[in-house]
């Protein structure tokens, strides 16, 4: 697991993101890449449970050892077409153990993915931002809430940035991002 250190990446130093902190279980490298790929594309859901239990442990022992837990958790949603195709949202499955353990509500209805985007993994970094533009739409107010957004993988940060921009527009006070793997 990644050490709990607070550093800003070059992109965040150049332009402050719409979220406050990012917590990652692992760097985006083997064997975690293969594990997440098997979860997402080969329906090996037991990996979601294992990652979720590791996430719950980090939340308690490291990430939130000295600060209050968020008001709610929001897994980054899949577009309905991709959800039908895959049969599950891997991010929702990953967060279930932590949400249950800490009695944190999971919001799966407040923000929808309305744009059927291409898979980010198949795009160059320059194409990812354009791919995610206007991909999400909110239907609820998040005024003064502290929110944890969960995604399985963060590479360029385009998905998370677009998603958190919507949350900020809807009044979110503080947003932490949780992920299983992060590049860079």
State whether residue 20 is helix, strand or coil.
coil
Tokens (6 digits) for 183: 């590049």
How many residues does the structure list for the chain?
Answer: 184
pLDDT tens digits in sequence order for the chain, 184 residues long: 555 544 545 554 455 668 999 999 999 999 999 999 999 999 999 999 999 999 999 999 999 999 999 999 999 999 999 999 999 999 999 999 999 999 999 999 999 999 887 666 666 666 766 777 888 999 999 999 999 999 999 988 889 999 999 999 999 999 999 999 998 7
Closest to 56 measured CA to CA, from 95, 12, 108, 91:
95
Question: CB neighbours of 7 closer than 8 A, spacing ≥ 6?
Answer: none
Domains within the chain, CATH numbers bracketed: 17-116+127-182 (3.40.50.2020)
Which segments within 61-126 are labelled E, that is strand?
A: 72-75, 111-113
85: Cα within 13 Å, side-chain hemisphere: 9
Task: Please give the pLDDT value at position 184.
Answer: 74
Task: Please give the pLDDT value at position 10.
Answer: 52
């Amino acid at each position: 697991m990644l050490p709990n250190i607070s550093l800003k990446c070059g992109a965040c130093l150049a332009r402050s993101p719409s979220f406050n902190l990012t917590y990652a279980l692992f760097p985006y490298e083997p064997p975690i890449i293969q594990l997440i790929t098997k979860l997402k594309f080969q329906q090996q859901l037991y990996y979601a449970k294992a990652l979720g239990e590791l996430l719950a442990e980090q939340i308690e022992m490291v990430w939130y050892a000295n600060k209050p837990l968020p008001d709610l958790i929001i897994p980054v949603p899949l577009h309905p077409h991709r959800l039908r195709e895959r049969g599950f949202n891997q991010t929702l499955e990953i967060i279930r153990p932590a949400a249950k353990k800490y009695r944190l509500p999971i919001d799966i209805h407040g923000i929808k993915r309305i744009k059927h985007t291409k898979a980010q993994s198949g795009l160059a970094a320059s194409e990812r931002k354009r791919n995610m533009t206007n991909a999400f739409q909110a239907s609820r107010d998040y005024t003064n809430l502290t929110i944890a957004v969960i995604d399985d993988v963060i590479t360029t940060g385009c998905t998370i940035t677009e998603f958190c921009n919507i949350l900020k527009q809807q009044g979110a006070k503080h947003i932490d991002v949780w992920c299983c793997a992060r590049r860079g």
